[in-house]
Structure 1
Amino acid sequence: MTTRADTDTAKPREPKDWTTMGQVVSKDGTAIAFTRVGSGPALIIVDGAMCYRAFGPSKALADALAEHFTVYTYDRRGRGESGAGTAPYDVEREVEDIAALIEEAGGSAHLFGMSSGGTLVAEAAHRGVNAERIAIYESPMIVDGTRAPMDPDLPARVERAIGEGRRGEAIKLFMRYVGTPGLFIAVMPLMPMWTKLKAVAHTLPNDFALTGELQGGTLPPADRWSGAEAPALVIAGGKSPEYLRNAQRHLASALPQGELTVLPGQTHMVKPRATVPVLVDFFRRPAGRTR
């Protein structure tokens, strides 16, 4: 594995407001673009569906966390300035991307993933990346009858729409599934965000491949994340739908060192003001202390 960055990596670490941008090359040769900001222990943020450095919550989170950590944000493969890799998609390639970023960070790091990015973090820890601690915000799972399971045909319909050049329709199918209000979906094409969403619509099948088996309305196998031995914090929003809160409770119990935190008044939309204090407390917690 090689690393390319626009700064001399041997240069001493600058103050916490110093920001660099660069690339790591993943195991399969795919270039993964990243931004680094702050100082302190390394923390890698993993985005959810259709989000990347130029769109979504990761930049605001990184800025708020930079006082305490050296924060890495990156474009998941196929998004933003990162390469797409070769087809077919395999979650193992995304795990290798995280491993490459961890190597860039010095060989170990904390991980924080949001939504499907949280599922990817659990998967990466399970498959053995060198994560010191992991935190997950609302991995999108359906583990009981509090919500109908995902239509098994949905991923194929989204992929077909993308293959036929109907990226907007693919986005709408996804938004309807996650519960976005119909009126908002109708006006989305008029919003500035629409162009950015369409630019990454082709990565939606990747997120379905990552999370689809976990949205069938039944509990995953008991050993699904048994290899994720790092201390783990699972975060749920107190105002999120019941099925999401129940899923996080299950995930916290399934992770070998998992614990659950519910943030009162929060939803699936990650807000730094509510999330950052919890992350700082967890990632800075002395080894061996559980709370």
Structure 2
Amino acid sequence: MTEFATSADGTRIAYDRQGSGPPVILIDGAMQFRAFDPATTQMAKELAGHGFSVVHYDRRGRGESPAESPITLEQTLDDLRALISEATEGADDAVALFGGSSGAAIALAAAASGMPVSKLVLWETPLGDELGTDAAEFLAGLRERIASRDGDATIEYYMKDMPPEWLAGAKASPGWPIMTSMGPSLEPDAEALAWTQSAARPALWAGVAQPTLVLVGEQTLDLMLTSADSLVANLPNAVRSAVPASDHAWEPRSMALTIAGFLVG
């Protein structure tokens, strides 16, 4: 059954909670929400079966969490604070965070902000070069397209550096209109990725001392491997592992088993 957390500005954030045990919050990446992300929904169910209380939510501006543009990273972090309070029943206990793709950059920003985070699991975070400017330039371009209210142009721009067959497949799918409606909610994804280039990473992430599992697929893009290397090199307590996956998509059961093993360990 859908529950709701109330963020700092009064926005209601919809979520599902499954299982009992230590709390884990799942942070979706670009163009994902509960009703549009069956792999994460299934993974949440599998992870709950390993003895965790799993919160899977619709990010601001998606699914059952409607919100007006602009949608910012600061608001997204406020949403997470509200969800942590719900997950811990107001006790301010620590929660584990799983972030997928650009959602992993949001998870990192949450931990760096001082939220009560026990462990991090980061799946294929698409980082640019340390101290690069490409993510900030991308963010500026994305904001221009969001302001134009052209949903097709916004998603085409967001996916411009991905393999071209991914965009072609998305445009040919029945889910394309849903994707184009989510344009404003992509701003925090781009903003979080720009943040990862805003300072030297050893300093930027010095306070993220939580045990961190950096995951990549057994078949993946070179960008993801380079990004994983940077995360492990610059986070104080990170390890890297590979899971059965290709084309930036995982198998839910094996992903849940990998996450559970890390969180228990």
TM-score range for the pair, normalised by the shorter chain length: 0.7 to 0.9
Percent of aligned pairs sharing the same letter: 30
Q: Which moved more, 1:73-82 or 1:206-215?
A: 206-215
In the TM superposition, residue 264 of structure 1 has moved relative to its aligned partner by 5.4
Cα pair 1:125 1:131 within 8 Å, conserved: yes
Alignment of 1:250-269 (within 5 A): 250-263=230-243, 266-269=246-249
Cα pair 1:237 1:245 within 8 Å, conserved: no
Are 2:143 and 1:159 equivalent residues in the alignment?
yes
Alignment of 1:68-87 (within 5 A): 68=50, 69-84=52-67, 87=70
Q: Which of these residues, 24, 43, 51, is aligned with residue 5 of structure 2?
A: 24
User: For 1:29, what is the secondary structure of its paired residue?
Assistant: coil
The whole-number CA distance in structure 2 between the counterparts of 1:79 and 1:187 is: 21
RMSD: 2.5
1:7-36 C-alpha deviation (Å, 9 max, x unpaired): xxxxxxxxxxxxx32111112322111111
Identify the residue that residue 29 of structure 2 maps to in structure 1.
48
Identify the residue that residue 109 of structure 1 maps to in structure 2.
95
Q: Which of these residues, 62, 66, 91, is aligned with residue 48 of structure 2?
A: 66
Cα pair 2:5 2:13 within 8 Å, conserved: yes
Q: Which amino acid aligns with 2:192?
A: L
The whole-number CA distance in structure 1 between the counterparts of 2:195 and 2:264 is: 33
Identify the residue that residue 203 of structure 1 maps to in structure 2.
185
Q: Which of these residues, 193, 198, 214, is aligned with residue 175 of structure 2?
A: 193
Whose Rg is larger?
1
Q: Which amino acid aligns with 1:128?
A: G
In the TM superposition, residue 201 of structure 1 has moved relative to its aligned partner by 1.6
Distance 1:214 1:79, change over 3 A: same
Cα pair 1:143 1:220 within 8 Å, conserved: no
User: For 2:9, what is the secondary structure of its paired residue?
Assistant: coil
Identify the residue that residue 172 of structure 1 maps to in structure 2.
156
Distance 1:40 1:153, change over 3 A: closer
The whole-number CA distance in structure 2 between the counterparts of 1:180 and 1:39 is: 41
TM-score, normalised relative to structure 1: 0.80
1:87-138 C-alpha deviation (Å, 9 max, x unpaired): 4x44232222112111111133211010111111111111111111111101
Q: Which amino acid aligns with 2:167?
A: I
- Any unmatched runs of 5+ in structure 1? 1-19, 286-291
Distance 1:85 1:131, change over 3 A: farther
Q: Which amino acid aligns with 2:20?
A: S
Q: Which amino acid aligns with 1:142?
A: G
Task: Tell me which of the two structures has the higher relative contact order, counting C-alpha pairs closer than 8 angstroms and 6 or more residues apart.
Answer: 2
The whole-number CA distance in structure 2 between the counterparts of 1:132 and 1:116 is: 20
Cα pair 2:135 2:190 within 8 Å, conserved: no
The whole-number CA distance in structure 2 between the counterparts of 1:39 and 1:213 is: 34
Q: Which amino acid aligns with 1:136?
A: L
TM-score, normalised relative to structure 2: 0.87
Identify the residue that residue 119 of structure 1 maps to in structure 2.
105
Cα pair 1:228 1:256 within 8 Å, conserved: yes
The whole-number CA distance in structure 2 between the counterparts of 1:264 and 1:32 is: 32
- Any unmatched runs of 5+ in structure 2? none
Alignment of 1:222-241 (within 5 A): 222-241=202-221
Q: Which amino acid aligns with 1:64?
A: E
Distance 1:85 1:96, change over 3 A: farther
The whole-number CA distance in structure 1 between the counterparts of 2:184 and 2:4 is: 22
